[in-house]
Amino acid sequence: MAKPFIPTPHPVLGLPSVTQAMAMGQRAWEEAMVRRERIIAEEKADPFGHLWQPPIWRVCDALCGFPWVDAAWAEQMRRHLQFDKPVRILLILGGNRAGKTQYAANRTMRVLFHYVAARAWALHSTLPMSRQYQQPLFYDYLPPHLKAADIKGKTAYIAYKQKTGFSEEQFVLPPQETGVRGASCEFKAYEQEIGTIEGGNLRIVWPDELVPSEWVETLELRVAELNGWVVITFTPVEGYTETVRLMCDGAETVKESVAFLCPNDEGPPDPARALGLTPEEYEEVQLAEREGRAAMCPQSRPENCEAWLTGEPSQLAVPAGRVFKRVPRVLKSADPEGKRAVVFFHSADNPYGNPKNIWKTISSKPEAFIQERFYGIAKKTMAARFKKFNRNVHVVAPDAIPKDGTNYQIVDPCNGRNFFMKWYRVTPDAVYLYREWPGNYVIPGIGLPGPWALPSGKHPDGKRGPAQTPFGWGLRRYKEEIMRLEGWHDLKKMEREFAGMSKEEREEFLDALSEENGAREVIQERQIDSRFASTPQMQKDRPVTLISDFADINVFFQPTPGDDIDEGVHLIQSALDYDEEKPVDFFNKPKFFVSSECVNSIFALMTWTGFTKEGRRAMDGACKDPIDDDRYFFLGDHSYLGGRTEDAPDEYAGETRNYY
């Protein structure tokens, strides 16, 4: 009697139902089963050449601009995700068994086979961890003929044992595989001195799990010459580490997904849709597991990320009447050069990882644990102070800011760095931050100043950016800049009259210019940090202050009221507040909005904690000055007093020259 055919279980390749099989006919069904068994056998024998890949992998390929991806499609995906060019550092945060390590190992190996004499590094916490978790993946991805026997020669070296990993913690591919000289991969560990990674000229680096933030910044330099890549993989069981902070602080969420395991109503989680399965398919997967047979459908059906470009649904529809939270899928890091991105791998992205059982394991856990273990979301242990701040709610386009309103300017001066200045417009129902200085625009005589603060793995509030480096300006130069930005009508007069004057005459002339002669923007009141600006200093036998010095050149400031940090923070929080559980509309909206052009203020509102990583109050953090301006504004009496911003004639538009 012929042995009955029993289909091999496979997490992706389901089986036709009885109805479908009968419709196919005996011969077609048998041919389909032969093809299915051949695909499974080929995948097992040569996973590198026959690996099934989830759609999120191709998104990562597009972000990195890997050479094996269609260039036009990759550029389209990057544009959709708001990236102007390929990234050089990609952080993959993943749920349990989400496939992130498989992706990194596979792509590292593909780079080695694509480029002549390419060099790669793979790093883990310790070398024993590398031998246990990283090196077996590289061995599995070697083509079968390179695993048949050890290869030891002058130009190639591959010797592997399951217990000890690759001999000498490296392998070199044969020249005929990759070109004139063989590509190579070395395995390193963070327990080694950071000096061991100096001097490398690499095409790709894969740091797995708890890579220190200073290693990331050093590794970025190791791939810079060849325009290579650093691909970091991490399961956030250790929380919001320094490296996660470096990549995620101030980042913009450019793509979200529905989190079917995190209901935002009174209903239960929806594990079927979380796995991309219909309720009927989910029952079939469970039944097949109990019966020990191949399922009629995949173990999970990952989100179809390629549908992002077509407008088709990438996930199953949310059932009528249900509401679920959304989780980030792709982040654009707060990197001025646009070279860093964060992608989240969900457990459902990897049908091979048995995501159904992962859900069973975590189903009774708190929501934060589910987000961490299934969706890869790292929770901050020290959260930013303005938890309600949301780019999608509080950030508005410049042309959406009302023209009618009462304008105020707040200035935070400081020794050792530039002033930070902000302009606010108060309307009957809201406050709009419509300008910051320095900002993401050209300053005459300076150029583009760069960011005020940058993400930092070591410092919760970021590190100082290039815009904090003093320009060497005196008060007259600040007056010129205020005149330019506000469009004082005296600008044209100054440009006409300055031509034949001496430096002393120019100073005297500039000092006399006043906004009372007209300006594009009418400023109701200017305020400056009272602690700094009101402290008198003796000059020429008389006490002077920054306020009096500004008054001498016809720019009039009032001191800011008090300096209660906690009270000011509370007032900002109140202005940002809205009910996150309800739609944003006329009756449910915040009172404080920020122009999308105010990039430094947005970063500060997303990042600032006010504390050091040791938990002490930080009095000199990199993001403190932009937040101080907001505190001073809301602590003061800045009411709507009517008024309209004037539209200055064209003859007054333009930039001042740097006369000093």
| pLDDT above 50: residue 654 | no
Q: Would the pLDDT of 647 be above 70?
A: no
**Minimal CA–CA distance to 556: which of 532, 524, 531?**
524
Higher-pLDDT residue of 565 and 504 is 504
- Above 80 in pLDDT, residue 384? no
Based on the fold, state whether residues 271 and 341 are members of the same structural domain. yes
pLDDT at residue 648 in the model = 46
- Which of 380, 413, 431 represents a domain boundary (last residue)? 380
pLDDT tens for 581-601 read 788 888 899 999 999 999 999
> Is it the case that residue 645 has pLDDT exceeding 70?
no
Please tell me the predicted confidence (pLDDT) of residue 238.
66
Interatomic CA distance for residues 660 and 658, integer angstroms: 6
pLDDT of res. 236: 77
Q: What's the total number of domains in the chain?
A: 3
pLDDT at 655 over 50: no
Asked, for residue 225, whether it belongs to a domain, the answer is yes
Candidate from 2-16, 380-394, 535-549 with smallest mean pLDDT:
535-549
The answer to whether residues 202 and 325 belong to one domain is no
Q: What's the token pair of residue 478?
A: 């600040």
Looking at the domain assignment, is residue 368 inside a domain?
Answer: yes
Q: Decide if 515 is inside a domain.
A: yes
pLDDT > 50? residue 434: yes
In a domain, 74, yes or no: no
Residues 526 and 627 in one domain: yes
CA distance 252 to 214: 23
Q: How many CB atoms lie within 10 A of CB 286?
A: 14
* Residue 28 scores a pLDDT above 70: yes
Average pLDDT value for residue range 463-481: 94
Tens of pLDDT, residue by residue over 146-195, are: 988 889 888 889 999 999 999 999 999 988 765 556 799 999 998 887 77
Confirm whether 606 is domain-assigned.
yes
Considering the domain architecture, whether residues 279 and 300 belong to the same structural domain is answered as yes
What pLDDT score does 253 carry?
95
How does the average pLDDT of the chain come out, rounded? 89
494: alpha, beta or left, given left = phi > 0 and alpha = psi -120 to 50?
alpha
What the block records as the tokens of 508 is 């005297």
Residue 84, in any domain of the structure: no
The band of 107, judged by pLDDT with boundaries at 50, 70 and 90, is: very high
**Rounded CA gap, 609 and 198, in Å?**
33
Give the end of a domain, one of 380, 410, 425: 380
How many C-alpha atoms does 499 have within 13 Å on its Cβ side?
Answer: 5
Phi/psi for 186 (5° steps) reads -115, 145
Tens of pLDDT, residue by residue over 40-69, are 999 999 998 888 999 999 999 999 999 999
- Domain assignment of residue 349, given as a range: 1-63+94-98+235-239+247-380
Domain shared by 445 and 478, yes or no: yes
Q: Taking residues 347-357, report their average pLDDT.
A: 95
On whether both 275 and 350 belong to a single domain, the answer is yes
Residues 304 and 397 placed together within one structural domain of the fold: no
- For residues 413 and 322, state if they share a domain: no
Which is more confident, 87 or 16? 87
pLDDT in tens, 295-319: 889 999 999 999 999 999 999 999 9
Give the best-scoring range by mean pLDDT among 373-382, 415-424, 491-500.
Answer: 415-424
Rounded to an integer, what distance in angstroms lies between the CA atom of residue 75 and that of residue 70?
A: 9
| pLDDT computed for residue 4 by the predictor | 77
Instruction: Please compute the mean of the pLDDT values over residues 93-112 and round it to a whole number.
Output: 95
- In whole angstroms, give the CA distance from residue 114 to residue 108: 10
Asked if residue 324 has pLDDT above 80, the reply is: yes
pLDDT at position 201, please? Answer: 87
Same domain, 210 and 263: no
- Reported as a pLDDT band with limits 50, 70 and 90, residue 379 is confident
* For the chain, percent of residues with pLDDT exceeding 70: 92
Q: What is the pLDDT of residues 611-625, one digit of tens each?
A: 876 667 777 789 999
Same domain, 45 and 174: no
Task: State the CATH number of the domain containing residue 575.
Answer: 3.30.420.280
Q: Flag whether 468 is in a domain.
A: yes
Tens digits of residue pLDDT in 276-285: 999 999 999 9
> Which of 179-183, 432-436, 456-460: highest mean pLDDT?
432-436
Asked if residue 256 is part of any domain, the answer here is yes
> Both 251 and 229 in a single domain?
no
- Find the mean pLDDT for residues 119-146: 93
The per-residue pLDDT for 657 is: 41
Q: At which of 380, 404, 438 does a domain end?
A: 380
Q: Which residue has the tokens 């399951």?
A: 162
Predicted local distance difference test score (pLDDT) of residue 586 = 86
Same domain (yes/no): 460, 605: yes
What is the Cα–Cα distance from 215 to 190, expressed in whole angstroms?
Answer: 8
